[in-house]
Amino acid sequence: MTRSFRALLIRDLKLAARVGGSGVMGLIFFLMIVTLIPFALGPDLNLLSRIGPAILWIAALLATLIGLDRLFQADQEDGSLELLRLSPAPLELIVLAKVTAYWLTTGLPLAIATPLFGLLVALSPEGMLAMVVTLLVGTPALTFIGAVGAALTASLRRGGLILAILVLPFMIPTLIFGVSAANAAVGGTVPFATPFLILIALTLISAVVGTAGTAAALRSAE
């Protein structure tokens, strides 16, 4: 069972790294959004650093979303999904392997690259640290929630937009508590731990519900 998990994880990581893979796309998209916003707002450093966490979080959310439609669609199109069903491991474990691989190639690089992008929105060092931590904790929640939508839209040809409409509302709580935790770290009346612990809880809940929901969506698809 762990063999199947590892095999699938490694395959998806390899695919992300190859030509046409989603490996760097999310990161470049993230950079584009974060770069565009200072141009739109003008060089007001105080304003930028105040809304910096929100900008970074929205950019991370969109960057997570952008490759999600291919999560199961690619496997559906070339018949790999049928192969995945023949595994001795339960479908939930297969979902977990795919989501883990996706997060390792999108969420994790985003979190690691945040200090660099934080410079563009004049974030303070504490703010950058808080952004890294909240993104590390929060992006798995986004990926798990998105996976349910990806499984539901796997067989639709232009599923990307429907996927976004389906899952964005469910990502709002994560966004709220992610941004408020990052804001709490740079100042404000709320202690950092309060929203941060809720963010952790959201991630844990979506890990369970997202995995079960994605597997159920794949089972019901015919």
Partner 1 sequence: MRLSVNNLACDRGGRRIFEGVSFTLLSGEALVITGRNGAGKSTLLELLAGRLHPAGGKIIWEGAGERSLTECLHYVGHRDALKSALTAQENLDFARDFLGNPALSPAEALEAVGLAHAARLPVGYLSAGQRHRVALARLLVAHRPLWLLDEPTSALDAASQETLRQLLENHRAQGGMIAATTHSPLFLSEPKEIRIERQSARIEREVP
Strands (E) across the chain are located at: none
* Residue placing its CB nearer to partner 1 in the complex, 85 or 187: 85
Q: How far is the CB of 219 from partner 1 (least distance, A)?
A: 10
User: Which of 97, 164 has the CB closer to partner 1?
Assistant: 97
Angle at 119 between CA 114 and CA 122, to 5 degrees: 120
Q: Sign of the CA dihedral 28, 154, 99, 18?
A: negative
**Minimal distance, residue 85 CB to partner 1, in Å:** 6
Burial readout 101-124 (b: 16 or more C-beta within 10 A, e: otherwise): bbbbbbbebbbebbeebbebbbbe
In the bound state with partner 1, the residue whose beta carbon lies nearer, of 182 and 218, is: 218
Alpha-carbon distance values, 69 to 16, 34, 75, 122, 217 (Å) = 14, 22, 11, 32, 14
Applying CB under 8 A, the residues found at the interface with partner 1 are 3-4, 6-8, 10-11, 14-15, 18-21, 77-80, 82-88, 222
List the one residue out of 186, 207, 185, 206 whose CA is nearest residue 196.
185
Output the smallest distance, CB 205 to partner 1, in A: 29
Nearer to partner 1, 44 or 78 (CB): 78
Closer residue to partner 1, CB minimum distance, 85 or 197: 85
Least gap, CB of 112 to partner 1 (angstroms): 24
Least distance from C-beta 152 to partner 1, angstroms? 17
CB closer to partner 1 out of 7 and 165: 7
> Closest Cα to residue 105, out of 218, 23, 160, 193?
23
Task: Tell the smallest beta-carbon distance from residue 140 to partner 1 (Å).
Answer: 23
Which of 126, 106, 107, 111 minimizes the C-alpha distance to 185?
126
139, 64 contact by CB (below 8 A)? yes
